[in-house]
Structures are given as C-alpha cells and as structure tokens.
Amino acid sequence: MSNFTRADLESLLPACTTVPAVDQIQWYIGLDVADTVAACAEHGIVVEAYSPFAHGRIVNHPDIVDMGRRYEVTAPQLSLRYLLQKGAVPLPKATTRDHILANAEVDFEISDADMATLDAMHDTESHPLAANFRWS
C-alpha cells in the first residue's frame, strides 16, 4: 500500500483476506504520522518511510544538524537513524556513491531524550534554510 492512513486501513482491512504487508508513507522528522504508524503496528504492517529528508528540505535544519554533530553524523544520517529507531524502514534518495555509502552508516543510537526532542519538532521542512539545499 502507499499513503494509507488509519481511516484508509480501517476501510480496507474488513474487505481483505490477507492483511497488507507494507504501507509506504512519507515520514521525516517533524511530520506527525503517529496515528498511521500506530494503526500499522496494530495490524502487523511494516511502515516504509519515503522522503526521510523531506525531499532534502531538512538537511540544513540547524537543530537537526547540531544534534547530528553531537553524534558525529550528518543530518541525513540522524534522520535515517531516527526512523529506524521508530521501527520504520527508511527509503532515502541518493544519487551519488558517497551519499549511498553515508546513508548506510547509521550504526549509532539516538538517546531517549534526543528522540523526544526530535518527536517534538514540527514543520521542519519549512525552515528558512530549507531553500539553500540542492541535490548536487
């Protein structure tokens, strides 16, 4: 499935003989999809998180960058680790070998306190520095 919300799932599941295995949804730090994630968990559906960098708009977010520095990782790496710790399967976009390799370097743990800070962020993709990022 793709972009199914709780309401969509509740509409679909009674008609299914097999529960879908995956719901692919847009998810990144600052986008609240908790209700959809909870609905998927209730039914054993894996959440696949596309656009984990908000189409590149959060890689310059100063709070995410600063937190990443404390872990000695980039904002994209922190974003991927966040989703992994939330139980999602992130689907990052990468066009260069260096970005692909860096996206795999997420073998660190974000503290509970920092996860709570990230959970509390909202509208991260609309930060003024978002316009400064380009995929090049």
Q: Which domains are present in the chain? A: 6-132 (3.20.20.100)
Whether this model's pTM surpasses 0.85: yes
| Confidence at residue 132, expressed as pLDDT on a 0 to 100 scale | 59
| Confidence at residue 122, expressed as pLDDT on a 0 to 100 scale | 86
Q: Which residue stretches of the chain have pLDDT < 50?
A: 135-136
| Confidence at residue 131, expressed as pLDDT on a 0 to 100 scale | 54
Quick check: 56 and 107 in contact, CB under 8 A?
A: no
| Confidence at residue 135, expressed as pLDDT on a 0 to 100 scale | 45
Average pLDDT, whole number, for the chain?
A: 92
Quick check: 52 and 92 in contact, CB under 8 A?
A: yes
